[in-house]
Amino acid sequence: MGSLDQQVVIITGASSGIGAALARACSEQGAQVAVAARSKERLTRVAESCSGETLVVPCDVTVGAERRQLVDAVLARWGKVDVLVNSAGIGYYAPFEEIDLASLRTLLEVDFVAVLAMTQEVLRAMKPAGRGLIVQIASTGGLIAHAPNVSAYLAAKHAVVGMSRGLRRDLEGTGIRVQVICPHLTDTGFFATGLGAEAMREVADRLRGHMDAAAQVAEGIVAEMGSDKFIVFPTDRSRKAYERLREAL
């Protein structure tokens, strides 16, 4: 894609963590950024920390009407969508035999179904334009088993990667590109707010010194946006973790 200057970027899950850091990083590169998440108050704070033009759109990505309203609001403001970043997501930490099916459905609804549906929503704007970029925030856990007791989360992220491979092929010749971002451990509130958060937080506290900062991950994503890479490791730590764990399997 080249420069992000004057590019319209939608970022879901933008009220915190990687999504918020990415909103700031894209804005610094001249993008017009629509930040979306459930909390208007937190989104507003993120928008205020961005250097460029922003649009705050409260949105629950699991609700079809709200996904459509998000895209409609962006089109009404800027008339196009150049980039979609599907960053909204939750974790689920539990031993395999303790995975609760209701919780699993919640996880899949946020981490996979909403990603697919949000992508469908922006394609109605991108296809007539003949260009665009879909950026899926997955995980090294979408490629390998990167940690114990996260089988449900691994399944969701593997599904995102697999769906994105298929989407990439389906979009050949349309001018629309697809990238999958695979961070490793990132120091955000993710571990404190997911399903099984109490147990997850204890593990995260032990691993805190081995995590990337959200700003580092965002910087790596922006640097690779629109490159020829389909799978993107946004930091050296994420790439090395993948290589180390892949060799151990």
The confidence score (pLDDT) of residue 203 equals 66
The confidence score (pLDDT) of residue 147 equals 83
Q: How many CA atoms lie within 13 A of 208 on its CB side?
A: 8
Query: How many whole angstroms separate alpha carbon 95 and alpha carbon 80?
Result: 44
The confidence score (pLDDT) of residue 191 equals 62
Phi, psi of 241, rounded to the nearest 5 degrees: -65, -45
What domains lie within the chain, and their CATH numbers? 8-248 (3.40.50.720)
- Helix, strand, coil percentages in the chain from 3-state DSSP, rounded to 5: 55, 15, 30
The confidence score (pLDDT) of residue 115 equals 98
Q: Which of 92, 93, 153, 242 is catalytic?
A: 153
Query: How many whole angstroms separate alpha carbon 151 and alpha carbon 75?
Result: 38
Active site residue 242: no
The confidence score (pLDDT) of residue 207 equals 64
The confidence score (pLDDT) of residue 148 equals 87
What average pLDDT values come out for the chain (249 residues) when binned by 10 residues?
Answer: 87 97 98 98 98 98 98 98 97 94 97 98 97 97 91 97 98 98 83 70 68 94 96 96 82
The DSSP string of 54-77 is EEEEE--TTSHHHHHHHHHHHHHH
